[in-house]
């Protein structure tokens, strides 16, 4: 196990306590509708890549004929197995998204919810190319990416709130940085480090750029409006639109041969 597998495995025990959750009832997300549309168009085999503790598995198992739940972290897979113990059409695979040889050419749909977070951009592209190879030629990949611009948005709101309460600019900045956990971010390179995990948070321009380099054409990119309740200071900020992550829907670009 490399350290990131290990850290993700350990995170399975406290996952719900610390992670921003795009599956909460208050979240406004295009994901469910997009998945149902693909199932309705005849997609049968879906891969939940980086399935984590398995929040999406019940829906996928209901709407698709076969589900392959993939994660490289054993702790996550153990919890996902419990979550889907009554679903006969879910198969579990312990593998890295950077090496999905076992699934080559098998998936109609690949879903990645906050799992394309590899800190090294070369690993992100390796994972995207390996997803491309796991898809059937007319397959789709969709999912959610953690948004770095969403983090900056919350900082702006917190800064204005502190200024409006009469704090001088240096104290207002300190207050916003503290409440929004700036010590855990490397904003220049889009990294977030927490409890031994290092994750990449995406800027909106990066999505088309990185997917294109890896042989995909992005057909939709939309905001997922998260639940304010998961953010520090939310009671005073909830009059503003909620922070977001990025939803994407992409297809293999057949005009481009992705280098493997
Ligand atoms: C933030 S969690 C999201 C889990 C789940 N998709 C959800 O929506 O709750 C990220 C998941 O991706 C997995 N992951 C991260 N990098 C991975 C990789 N290279 N290969 C396989 N799984 C990976 C982690 O183990 C973790 O379970």
Note down the domain range covering 45: 3-146+201-229+243-252
The count of domains in the chain is: 1
Atom of ligand 1 nearest to the CA of 96: 20
What tens digit of pLDDT does each residue of 51-101 get?
Answer: 999 999 999 999 999 999 999 999 999 999 999 999 999 999 999 999 999
**Chain centre distance of CA 43:** 21
Whether 25 shows a pLDDT value over 90: the answer reads: no
CATH number, domain containing residue 95: 3.40.50.150
Whether 23 shows a pLDDT value over 70: the answer reads: yes
Residue 182 lies in a domain: no
Using only C-alpha atoms, the chain has a radius of gyration, in whole angstroms, of 19
Residue 186 lies in a domain: no
Alpha helices in the chain (DSSP H): 3-11, 15-18, 31-40, 57-63, 74-83, 121-134, 148-164, 169-179, 204-213, 234-237
Q: Which of 8, 143, 192 to mutate to test the pocket of ligand 1 (most atoms within 8 A of CB)?
A: 8
Whether 2 shows a pLDDT value over 60: the answer reads: no
Residue 29 lies in a domain: yes
- Name the average pLDDT for the chain: 94
Cα-to-centroid distance, 118 and ligand 1 (Å): 9
Give the Cα separation of 200 and 147 in Å (integer): 9
What is the edge-to-edge ordering of all strands in the sheet holding 90-94?
A: 90-94, 66-71, 45-49, 107-113, 135-145, 244-252, 216-225
- Amino acid 259: pLDDT: 46
Residue 141 lies in a domain: yes
- Amino acid 257: pLDDT: 60
- Amino acid 55: pLDDT: 96
pTM above 0.85, yes or no: yes
Give the Cα separation of 102 and 109 in Å (integer): 15
Residue 57 lies in a domain: yes
Residue 170 lies in a domain: no
- Measured by CA distance, the residue closest to atom 13 of ligand 1 is 50
- Name residues contacting ligand 1 (CB within 6 A): 8, 19, 50-52, 55, 71-73, 76, 96-98, 113-115, 117-118, 127
Cα-to-centroid distance, 52 and ligand 1 (Å): 5
Q: pLDDT over 70 for what percent of the chain? A: 98
- Answer yes or no: are the C-beta atoms of 182 and 201 closer than 8 Å: no
Residue by residue, DSSP assigns 127-144 as: HHHHHHHHEEEEEEEEEE
Cα-to-centroid distance, 172 and ligand 1 (Å): 35
Cα-to-centroid distance, 243 and ligand 1 (Å): 21
Residue 17 lies in a domain: yes
What tens digit of pLDDT does each residue of 117-156 get?
Answer: 999 999 999 999 999 999 999 999 999 999 999 999 999 9
Residue 40 lies in a domain: yes
Whether 260 shows a pLDDT value over 50: the answer reads: no
Range with lowest mean pLDDT among 145-159, 172-186, 233-247: 233-247
């Amino acid at each position: 196990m490399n350290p990131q597998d290990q850290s993700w495995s350990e995170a399975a025990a406290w996952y719900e306590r610390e992670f921003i959750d795009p599956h909460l009832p208050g979240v406004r997300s295009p994901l469910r509708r997009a998945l149902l549309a693909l199932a309705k168009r005849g997609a049968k085999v879906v891969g939940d890549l980086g399935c984590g503790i398995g929040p999406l598995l019940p829906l996928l198992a209901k709407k698709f004929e076969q589900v392959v739940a993939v994660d490289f972290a054993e702790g996550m897979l153990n919890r996902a197995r419990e979550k889907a113990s009554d679903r006969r059409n879910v198969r579990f695979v312990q593998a890295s998204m950077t090496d999905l040889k076992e699934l080559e050419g098998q998936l109609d749909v690949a879903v990645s919810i906050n799992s394309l977070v590899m800190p090294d951009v070369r690993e992100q592209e390796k994972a995207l190319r390996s997803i491309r190879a796991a898809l059937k030629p007319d397959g789709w990949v969709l999912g959610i990416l953690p948004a770095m611009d969403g983090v900056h948005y919350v900082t702006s709101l917190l800064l204005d709130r502190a200024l409006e309460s009469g704090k001088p600019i240096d104290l207002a900045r300190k207050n916003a940085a503290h409440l929004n956990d700036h010590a855990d971010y490397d904003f220049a390179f889009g990294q977030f480090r927490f409890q031994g995990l290092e994750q990449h948070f995406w800027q909106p321009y990066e999505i088309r750029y990185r997917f294109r380099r890896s042989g995909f054409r992005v057909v939709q990119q939309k905001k997922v409006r998260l639940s304010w309740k998961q953010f520090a200071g939310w009671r005073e900020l909830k009059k503003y639109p909620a922070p977001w992550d990025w939803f994407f829907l992409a297809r293999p670009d057949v005009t481009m041969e992705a280098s493997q």
